Chains A and B, each alone.
Chain A
């Protein structure tokens, strides 16, 4: 990846937001602190800040998404940006135009920020390496690789409930192999020096060298949940059965489904999280999803503040960098 595609500028500040890997604790804490102050805005009656007035944010979604796209859009609007939503599935991508051609055409429309979601790992970094230098790129999920804003909103949610990361045990349960969310969560938790990060899944849903990511591996949910402070369950895609990765949803639920009974193995005040959308009765019992330990809806709310923070910081750093050049 060339210097243009790097997410940090020469002073170590964010100019894109592509992956959490390689970021420092200060970067994450700055985002979390900024999000904390912005969250208060969301609770005011007038929810708009002038921060990004006059800038244009383009949501470039090559893959379907409702929640992520909507929260990015809300975040941008609350910062007074103009927002353009481009559903790339329906347009040029299917007409044989290369990703590069598509990008150059859109950047010619005088835009300032791309929010990119793509089904291929590395797509966001590819975009960052090839767009005009004045454009900031935020990764809204690329293949199995990263979903860094989701990772940030998850640690934001954990921090609000649990505080000090080194004292925490966190279990991530489910399809780690195909999950960009899990990879970003693992990076975020490790950068914040979380006491213990566990992954719980059968071998077929774990990357071969998963322990190299800095996690403890459990194949049995009962063991993985023991004494944890946070349980994150991941969505299970139906197509995993066809790929011979799992026998059935029923067996998955029997072994890895989060029930009230199993949740008792975790710490008494453990919280339950899920990046959504939930398959009720597959990865989680409805009673847990809707129960008092669940912070799933709060994650969605927090997503807006966290994305506002990341937009504010990347655009602010660029403005600061320009001032220094002048």
Chain B
């Protein structure tokens, strides 16, 4: 095991009140010391971090790697490499691969291939229902024992409320966090926010009520059952209000937002820009601002990339026929730092939403700069500027919605399990 010293950087982990210039020592795959380095520590490798940020490696609560099943879009190796180069050391993948993660072998395969690739850590969510069809419960406890860290229905809403009730109750009894998108399936038939842009472009609209009705249903069930629910991908200001109220009532719910909802809105669809085709849809400016406020006040504790790499063909069609989703791992850090530049929240708080915040959702040990924590660290030059270009994205999916944007924050080094990730 390498003994690693990261010297003279700005150590920052707001959740643990770490915010100072100093050294960081890692040994045996873990953080050995923060700030004060024990005497006699002999490093095998030293990273000079003068003028750089030293932060926990990013934790991305939702990234689709497309393997198994859609390797023409991306692979576990290509995406974990892209993620690591962008400072993300842990990726949580939903179970909607092909085949789905409703049996242990699929989750095992994903984790084994990620291990073999040797870039970022990959954690799998198991299926909530068999085949994600929403009819019969998946073997959640077995999936958990084999290594799944939570359960989800992979973005496919469960229409039958009774099945949903039982799934939440069963998951709760197995001490599993359930990841669900708040969507009322009957209102979810469209490809754009049901607002002025959809009216003008003649696109089928998805009303905000698709989110709030879905959320109301989920929160009612949680209130009854007491299940631990993680609400994935909020898109509206009204949705945020409901989560805030749920927190005030003491419900055991957490929530995330994908980074693009904090920077884009329906106007960015322009003239049918398929790069901005995402689900839930990009909503109005007030929704974007409501989400920003929720990230600032902690109602939303995690920002994810909702990484969905696509091949070119999937996006080169008329808007409604294109596949939804944005390739997001390359830009997660830069766009999160941009929130600080735009005055949405302080640097430490912004970074907490991609480190300690998501770690808490899953009760992970990662995401912190404390002695004994897993040795996942990211060294960032926060002032280095770069321009987003489709062709230079490391992800195999070039479907970014931020082409031409100038971002700050270049990753200088990434450490996973105490080892510097060598990018080949």
List A residues at the B interface (Cβ < 8 Å): 1, 5, 21, 98-100, 118, 120-123, 125-126, 130, 142-146, 180, 183, 207-210, 212-213
Contact = CB atoms under 8 A, between A and B. Distances in A.
A208 B195 contact: yes
Interface string B347-375: 00000000000000000000000000000
B319 A121 contact: yes
B205 to A, nearest CB: 6
B316 A122 contact: no
Contacts, number: 80
B199 A125 contact: no
A165 to B, nearest CB: 21
B320 interface: yes
A21 B319 CA distance: 18
B196 A99 contact: no
Contact of A1 (B194, B200, B205, B273): B273
A122 B270 contact: no
B318 A118 contact: yes
B272 A121 contact: yes
Interface of B: 194-196, 198-205, 207, 270-273, 313, 316-321
B205 A208 contact: yes
Contact of B317 (A5, A99, A208): A99
Contacts of B204: 144
A113 to B, nearest CB: 20
A60 to B, nearest CB: 13
A212 B199 contact: yes
Contacts of A98: 313, 316-317
Contact of A145 (B195, B202, B270, B313): B202
A144 B195 contact: no
Majority SS at the chain B contact face: loop
Contact of A213 (B199, B203, B207, B320): B199
Contact of B199 (A120, A130, A207): A207
Nearest to A182: B202
Given A98-B317, A125-B271, A180 B194 contact: no
A122 B194 contact: no
B202 A143 contact: yes
B199 A122 contact: no
Contact of B196 (A121, A130, A142, A212): A212
Contacts of A207: 194, 198-199, 205
6 contacts: A21-B200, A99-B318, A120-B320, A143-B202, A209-B194, A212-B199
A144 B317 contact: no
Given A5-B271, A120-B319, 4 more contacts: A100-B313, A142-B202, A144-B202, A209-B196
A14 to B, nearest CB: 16
A278 B111 CA distance: 61
Q: Closest 5 interchain pairs by CB?
A: A144-B202, A145-B202, A122-B272, A207-B199, A212-B196
Contacts of B270: 1
A121 B271 contact: no
Nearest to A100: B316
B202 A1 contact: no
A123 B318 contact: yes
A183 B200 contact: yes
Given A1-B272, A125-B272, A208-B195, A213 B318 contact: no
